[in-house]
Each structure stands twice: as C-alpha cells, then as structure tokens.
Structure 1
Amino acid sequence: MVMITASGKGTSSTKGTNSTKVASSTSGTNSTKKASGTWSPPEFDESLPREVTVMEGEPAELPCVVFKLKGRAVSWIRQRDLHVISANGLTFTSDERFKVTLDNATSSFTLGVAEALRNDSGVYECQVNTRPKLSRPVSLKVLVPAARIAGATELFIRRGSTLVITCTAQLHPTAPSKVEWVHNSSVVSISGGRGGVSVHTERGGPQLSSTLSLAKVEMRDAGNYTCRPHSLTPASVTVFIVDDEVPAAMHHDSGVGRGGGCPLPALFYSALAALTCPALCPALCPALTCPVPPYPAPS
C-alpha cells in the first residue's frame, strides 16, 4: 500500500511536471507567433533619384521601388490635380504617353512618359495604400530647348572695333550642331564680300556654343543679329554702331533712365534724332550722347 501510494504520488508529480512543460511550451509558441506577426510597414528605395530632368520630346522615366510590399497596391498620383495615373500595372488616363512598367521580382513600379512635354513638368507621387498612406514624390522637369544670348538685348559698340556675340543652347542628344546667324534678314556668311567675319561653333554633350565675330564694324553692321540653332527657338540682339566712345549710360538694357532723368529708353531718343534733328537727342536726355551721325536740320 505504501509503495502504491508512493507510486501514485510519483505519477501525480510527473503529470504536474508534464503539464507545466506543456503550458510553458505553449506559452513560448504563442509568444513567438506574436513576435513574428509584428507589422512592418513598406519601405521605399531611397537610393533612387527624386528629380528627373529631360528635354522636351524625350522620354522620361520616374522610378519607384517598394520593399516589404506584401501584396499592397502601388499608385502614381499627379500632385497638381491629384489625378490617379495608375494602380499597380493598370493605367487610368487617356494620354497614351503615360505607362507603368511593373516588375514583381524587384517590386519596381516605373512611370514612363513618352515624348515628355513642358506641361508634364511637376511632382508625381508613388503611393502605397497603407493606413496612413505612404508616398514618395518624384519631380519631373521638362526643359524647352531654346537659344540664349547672355547680356542686354541692346548692344552699343564703337565703329572700327570688333563685334563679338555668343549664343548658347541645350540640344537634344540626336540634334545636329548646326547654327545659322542672321543679320537683319540676310544670313551671315564667312565667305561673303564683307570680310572679317568668323563663326566658331562647338558642342560638348547637349551644350552648344556659337560665337559670331565681325572685325572693324561700320554703320552698315548695325541692326538685328539672330542666332538660330537647328529646330530651336532663336535668340536675338540689336546692335548700334556709334562714332565716339560708348557712353556709360548706354550699357544698360533699360536705357539711360537710371540717374540721367530720361523717362524713355535710349533707343527712343536715338530714333527721334535720326528722323528729326540730332540736337533734340541731348536736349531731351542730357545724359545721352547721340549715337547717330549729324543730319541737316529739316527746313
């Protein structure tokens, strides 16, 4: 009896131990499951650029890669009007230039714009449908190719000196490096009868630079000079030829109104003097020396 009782107690003790072990094991398992079920939000690949710049007419690609997506949808939103362009691989726009390239292996959602236009410039958001929503903005800048002549739009130069005008432009990668210079309505030629004319054009990548030089300028060289790169918006400058030293006041694009008491640009007084009497020019604007040769007073 004693041995049986002892055996029963031993058995009871063993069961208690097993029960404790099972409870402990179950508790540990639940704890592990809870830890493994902790929610982790998706993450964007921040190594990708946030700004994309292209020339008008070129294709543009706005990158977006999302880690730990776990089946959530990814959309592209145009920020200026909150237009939903796409959701995953579906596109919601009638503009066929927009298309999303989806790569499930890398969780990549690339928004492509074929032949980007200047109006496409702006901020686009790559958005994940979490709560709260996660988004990553990408800025698209579309440059409009155009020629540019630095400095004032009016240039005064002394007769007999050398005229130098430099024009720059950003070109498409496939655009030719051709630049045409026009004086008034005539194309400038280095082999023409004038002589002393040179044009130097060079290109480094998309950057184009062209310099026109005219030696020993005369009155006939005055007028409008236009730089016309191939298929780009041209740039122009107006050149005035003067007999004497160029007055300091004439270096300003806005005329001589700064401190000289002249309410209108220098060009107005010069034209008035040429049509009437040169004496009117300094009379109306004391700070200005008339850039025209003497004409007889009208009878």
Structure 2
Amino acid sequence: MLEGGEKGGEKQRRNGEEEEVVQGGERGGERQRRDGEEEEEDGEIFLDTSHFLKDTPSFSQPVENVTANVGSTASLTCVVEELGHYKVAWGYKGTGAVLTVGTRVITNNPRITVHRHHPTTWVLTITHTTLQDQGGYWCQVNTTPPRSTTGYLTVVEPPVLEGGDEEAVVHKGDTVNLTCRAHGTPTPTVRWIRDDHHTLTLAPGHSVGEVVGSGLVLEEVTPDSGGGYLCIATNGHPPSVSRRIHLIIHHPPELTAARAVVWAPLGSSTSLSCLYAAQPSPKVTWRRETSGGLFTLLPQHTFTITPHAHPPHTHNTTLHLTNLGPADFGLYTCTLVNHLGTAEARILLKGVRQQTSGAPALPTPTGTLLTLLALSMVWIAARCEFKTGVAMYDFKTGMARCDFKSGVERCDEWPDVILIRTGIYTCGVADY
C-alpha cells in the first residue's frame, strides 16, 4: 500500500509537474508572443522590429562641403540622432588621423576645436585655414561596424599681385616689356588694359582692347603710348586686385603754332599760342624779332603754360600781348628745349585797319570790315562787300577769293590790294 501509494503520489507529482511545465510553456509562449508581438492574422505573420532599432545612432544629414579663404575660419557640422551611449569622432581623410573624440581634441594642432552645440550637433572648427587643411573630414560613430559621413573642405586664396604701382621710363621707338605676376588658388587670370580706356597699341597699326597674360609687349612705342597700364588678376574668388604701371616715353619736343599768322588792330590785345608735347618737360622761351634780324627774349611773366588734352599735344604755351603798338607787330618765335632736342615755331603778328579817307578814290565797300576769330578752329577771315561783289581772305590758308556776279576769281595778292577785273580795290586791310 505504501509502495503503491508512493507510486501513486509520484505519478501525481509527475502529472502535476507535467501540467505545470505545459502551463509554464504556454505562459512562456505567451510571453514570447508578447515580447515579439507576434500575431497571426489570416495565415500571415507580422513582426514589429522597431525595438531592435531603438537607440541606434543615425546621421540625419550628410556633412556639408565648405569653402573657406586662406586665413579664415572653417566649420563642418555633423548631426547624429539617437546617439545613446556611443561617441562621435572627427578625423582627417587625407591622413586617416583622428582629430577629436566626443568633446576632447586628440590632435596637437591648436587651430582645431570641437563643440557640441546641441545634443545632436557636433561642430569641428579650424581657424586660420591654410591650403594644407584642404581635404575630406569624416564624422564617425563608434557602432559595430562604425558609421561615418564625410564632408569636404576647399581652401581658396584670392588673387595676390607681386609688387606695387610703379613707373617705367623708356625712349620713343623702344620695345617695352611689362610684367605682372599673380598667385592664388585657383591660379588667377591676368589681363591688361589702359586706365584711360584707350586701346592698347601693341605695334604700329596693331591695336587691341585688352591682352590676357602676365606679360605685355609694346613695340616701337610713341609718345601716345605713354600713360597708365593696369594689370588685373581674378580667379573667381573676390576680391580682384590690380596694379598700375605708369609708362613714360622720353622724346624730343614736338611743336606747332596754333596759327602761323595772327591779325590784330592797333591798340588791342591778342595772344599767340604754340601747342607742344615733350618728355621730359622742356624749357619754354618766347622771343620777338627786332630790326636787323635780331631777337629780343621776352620775360617769363608774359606767357603761360597750360595742359592741352588734345593728342598729340599735351601742353599749350601762350604769349599775352596788350595795347599793341607799331613795334609789337612782327615775327615771334616759341622755343622748346630738353636734353633730347630742340623745337621752334614762328608766328607772324600783323596789324589790321579799315580804309582811311585819304586813300585813293576807288570804289568803297558797301559793308564793313569783319574780322572773325574762332579759337577752336584757329583761323581768321576778313570779308569786304563791294558794289561789284565780295572779297574774302582766309588768313589760315593765305588764299583770297573774289566772288562776283559774273563768277568766282582767285586774287593773287593780299592783303595790301586785291586785283578785281581791271581796277584796284582796297579791302580795309593793310600792313603796319
């Protein structure tokens, strides 16, 4: 009985254990299903894996590329979500060196720092950037395997020109080589222009608006070649820079009289002018011819020198004469001298008066004497009207025209008399 009872008890215990195991298994299966949230609907099994990805670091955006000028500060930003207990490191792709881990700087480079601006944002900063800093920088999280994203730092250098503004002195007819050297990243482009916006005369008969290159060659330069030349360097990264070279062409004086003959009434005032160009600046003198072919040097206060912006001349020297008397009429000479040569121009000053009552009894003008002076055109003309026609003399060309009803004739002699048909008629102009 005891034995059988014991066996029966054992069986009951075994049955109870089995039942407990089964029940436990069922409960375990329920726990597994709850943990895995495994459900079966219409023969399909859906598995929610979100709990596997929970707290897994990820990059919400790639590291953006950055461009910085030499000497400036560059910053690269890395945004990591769900970092958890992991750490963020920065490194340089060119050498593979780790620069920072977390907020700690590993490299010995004092220009590099790292900051956590936000729980998800890590910023690597490089100050006083150099061309050697250019390259890829990776942001890495120490997962297994590690996850990383890379941004690229481009370092540029705006153009820099060697040397400053300068002057270059050459002689007329020389060949000139102007040089302008620039550096930068990327390599700058250099172009040449004139600062007065005139064309560049590279050789006689060959002119262009601009020249690209570090060198500018000018062949057989003339005084017109003188002036400012600009070399301008650009590489797409402001600012552009320029350098000015002032080219000075040494040459002998080049001179011309504004008018070869000037007419003025007795007692009036007038001016005699010479236009010139010379380099270096010449010594200017004026003199008047006196009796016997001698000349009298005129005081310096009687004439002026002013700029003249009408090539090929650059200056104007003007002699001022007032209250003209008979001795003031005659031949005047302006003279220019520099160490390369001498130039002279002569101007004849003549007197003008109207016909007097004591003149021969000849047909008299119906009009009056007109003396026209146009400084911009530098010519004088006298016009006399007669009953038989019109006589005109152009003092610039030295030519007289006599216009009559019967046609046009050229007068051979002037200014004392004009030959008209078979008679002699004065025109109110005479020498003193």
Give the TM-score normalised by structure 1. Answer: 0.46
Greater RCO, 1 or 2 (C-alpha within 8 Å, sep 6+) = 1
Structure 1 or 2: more helix by fraction: 1
* CA radius of gyration, larger in: 2
Structure 1 or 2: more strand by fraction: 2
